[in-house]
Amino acid sequence: EEERLRMQQEEEMRRREEEEEQQRRELEEQRRVAEENARQQREMEAAKRERESAEDDPEEGDEALASKTARRMPSTGVSFPRANRAYVLIRGKSAPIRRAQPCSLCISTGTTCVDLPNSRSKQCAKCRHQKKGCRLPGEKVQEKRKDSQLSPRGGDKRKRPKNIADDDNIEFLGSSTAKAGTSASAAPESVAEVLDRHLGDITTLLRDLVSKVDNVAKSTDKGRSRDWDEDESIITDDDAEPESSAD
């Protein structure tokens, strides 16, 4: 019996909580609907006042609406609705600026010469896009001088010669290093002396190389040294025959 009473009490509390939750939701929905109705009423009244002011003075109403719309939204150079559902173009800072005097390219192509917004370039939008020089009509263009044209000092143009070190100022350092300039400690060598010295070094290296090859050949009893001994013996025998014949 106690268990049944407890279950009834819990069910009663649960039903009461559900009813309270439902009432709270209904109150929130009613409050939201009331706020939405009030907002729509305010918008309708504001639109009615704007229509009345536009009917009294159409120009003033358009300017007021344009300024109001410009304050609400950032100006991008697009059309905004007017009070009479027409459209008015509000010039913004990002819109291109038309030039008072068009350039030659825009005149020849028949396009409007405008400057890009926030641009510091002296070229118009078309010339900048086509990467061409933006010139006004009648502006002279400075042409490049041709090679056949005479220089202001007279005579044909000549290339300036490069500064090349003289042979007398070339100083050779070590066995294979050359340096331009003079040295205070040693007198510069002539080209013949340098070549003679290098030739002597090369001869010494070749002599050492030949001696090394001979040593290798002698150690193996083959090669050039043995053939050389045989050739020497043949030569000595040939040389000895004339002496015997002479005797």
**Among the ranges given (96-100, 128-132, 183-187, 207-211), the one the predictor scored with the smallest mean pLDDT:** 183-187
Q: Which pLDDT tens digit goes with each residue over 10-64?
A: 889 999 999 999 999 999 999 999 999 999 999 999 888 888 877 665 444 445 5
d(CA 4, CA 13): 14
In Å, how far are 11, 31, 70, 82, 100 from 89, measured between CA atoms? 67, 40, 11, 10, 21
pLDDT of residue 177: 45
In Å, how far are 92, 125, 149, 246 from 75, measured between CA atoms? 5, 21, 57, 129
**Are 103 and 136 a contacting pair, CB within 8 Å?**
yes
Residue 207 tokens read as 């002599």
What is the arithmetic mean of pLDDT over 100-110? 88
d(CA 116, CA 128): 9
pLDDT of residue 33: 92
Q: Which of 174, 200, 204, 202 is nearest to 189 (CA)?
A: 174
pLDDT at 138 over 90: no
pLDDT of residue 126: 87
**Among the ranges given (107-121, 145-159, 185-199, 232-246), the one the predictor scored with the smallest mean pLDDT:** 232-246
Alpha-helical (H) ranges within the chain are: 2-56, 58-72, 104-109, 125-130, 191-219, 224-246
**Are 114 and 125 a contacting pair, CB within 8 Å?**
yes
pLDDT of residue 231: 55
**Are 78 and 69 a contacting pair, CB within 8 Å?**
no
Residue 110 tokens read as 């028949």
